[in-house]
């Protein structure tokens, strides 16, 4: 293969690729398959030109085109607000609609257990002594006792104690009830 026949045969592809690279992004999107095909052919042409020791000007031109194509294909695109907005408005709802049965099952499991425990605690107030340790229960009762030392402490401390009590009374009994049930030998 001579250099002239190689250039004569392959130069139309190089010129078309150069037009795609220099053109608008819209042109690349509409001709994506052709762009990738030309990029592969250009990479092969660059390897052939290097291995046969063709003119450095040809190698330089091919190398420039391959680098520009590589940047378009694999380069980082700029951050856009369209991407997260598209995820929130389009992708996430589509995934939820596709997996609605699983999401419904998990939601019913979580809220069903919550309502079940609320029903148990309202119907049988003494069940709290079975679920929660005596020390934790004494702390909770002390928190709402007007005669205790911390009763009129600042609101932030009270709010934090209420949140912690909520965590200890809902999440820990839930996990202590679910984990043994999950590993219970049948």
Q: What is the pLDDT of residues 140-159, one digit of tens each?
A: 777 777 777 666 566 556 66
Provide mean pLDDT across the span 108-132: 81
pTM value is 0.44
What is the helix, strand, coil percentage profile of the chain, to 5?
Answer: 80, 0, 20
Residue 182: the pLDDT is: 43
pLDDT band of 126, cuts 50, 70, 90: confident
Which token pair is 113?
Answer: 């257990």
Which token pair is 44?
Answer: 């092969």
Residue 156: the pLDDT is: 57
Neighbouring C-beta atoms of residue 125, cutoff 10 Å: 9
């Amino acid at each position: 293969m001579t250099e002239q026949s190689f250039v004569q045969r392959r130069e139309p592809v190089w010129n078309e690729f150069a037009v795609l690279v220099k053109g608008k992004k819209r042109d690349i999107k509409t001709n994506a398959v052709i762009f990738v095909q030309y990029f592969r052919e250009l990479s092969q042409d660059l390897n052939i030109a290097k291995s046969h020791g063709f003119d450095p000007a040809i190698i330089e031109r091919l190398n420039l085109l391959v680098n520009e194509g590589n940047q378009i294909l694999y380069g980082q695109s700029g951050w856009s607000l369209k991407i997260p907005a598209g995820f929130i408005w389009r992708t996430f709802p589509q995934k939820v609609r596709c997996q609605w049965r699983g999401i419904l099952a998990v939601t019913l499991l979580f809220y069903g257990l919550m309502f079940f425990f609320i029903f148990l605690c309202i119907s049988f107030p003494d069940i709290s002594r079975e679920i929660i340790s005596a020390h934790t229960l004494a702390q909770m009762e002390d928190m709402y006792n007007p005669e205790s030392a911390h009763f009129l402490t600042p609101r932030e401390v009270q709010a934090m104690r209420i949140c912690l009590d909520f965590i200890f009374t809902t999440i820990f009994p839930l996990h202590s009830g679910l984990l043994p049930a999950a590993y219970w030998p049948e």
